């Protein structure tokens, strides 16, 4: 069965420093992977996805993610963090090949960027 793990409940980083939010996955077959961001009392916003192709995927707000098949990871990265990046981040994997497009979400990582 497909699953994702976000091993860190919270990540703290200083403004201007690079940030990484970790995600590992377990799938049977090719993985379809996603990152979402959620600001307080708001819905989730889609950041980026990996379906196939280049291992480095670029998304919204300067974020990127690196797909690593051997390590079954899909870490979210940004070269220089902003205070406004502080939010809850979710990694997700598509469940199988069903047309339902169901996603399995990780438990979320709270990113706190200190000024």
Partner 1 sequence: SQTIHQWPATLVQPVGSPLSLECTVEGTSNPNLYWYRQAAGRGLQLLFYSVGIGQISSEVPQNLSASRPQDRQFILSSKKLLLSDSGFYLCAWSGDRESSYEQYFGPGTRLTVT
Report the interface residues with partner 1, using CB under 8 A.
32, 34, 36, 40-46, 49, 51, 88, 90, 94, 99-103, 105, 107-108
E strand or H helix at 75: strand 73-78
Q: How far apart are CA 30 and CA 7, in angstroms?
A: 22
Considering beta carbons, is residue 15 or 38 the nearer one to partner 1? Answer: 38
Measured from the CB atom, is 18 or 58 closer to partner 1? 58
Q: Minimum distance between the CB of residue 50 and partner 1, rounded to whole angstroms? A: 10
CA 89, CA 74: separation in Å to the nearest integer? 13
**CB of 36 or CB of 74, closer to partner 1:** 36
For the bound state, the minimum distance from the C-beta of residue 60 to partner 1, rounded and expressed in Å, comes to 12
Q: Let me know: does 91 contact 101? Beta carbons within 8 Å.
A: no
Q: What's the closest the beta carbon of residue 99 comes to partner 1, in angstroms?
A: 6
Q: Calculate the dihedral angle through the C-alpha atoms of 22, 27, 30, 32, rounding to the nearest 10 degrees.
A: -50
């Amino acid at each position: 069965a497909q699953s994702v793990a976000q091993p860190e409940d919270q990540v703290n980083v200083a403004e201007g420093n690079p940030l990484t939010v970790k995600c590992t996955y377990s799938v049977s077959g090719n993985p379809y992977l996603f990152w979402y961001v959620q600001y307080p009392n708001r819905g989730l916003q889609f950041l980026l996805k990996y379906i196939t192709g280049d291992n480095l995927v670029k998304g919204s707000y300067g974020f990127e993610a690196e797909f690593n098949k051997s390590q079954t990871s899909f870490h979210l990265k940004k070269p220089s963090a902003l205070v406004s990046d502080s939010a809850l981040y979710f990694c997700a994997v598509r469940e199988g090949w069903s047309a339902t497009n169901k996603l399995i979400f990780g438990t979320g990582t709270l990113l706190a960027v200190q000024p």
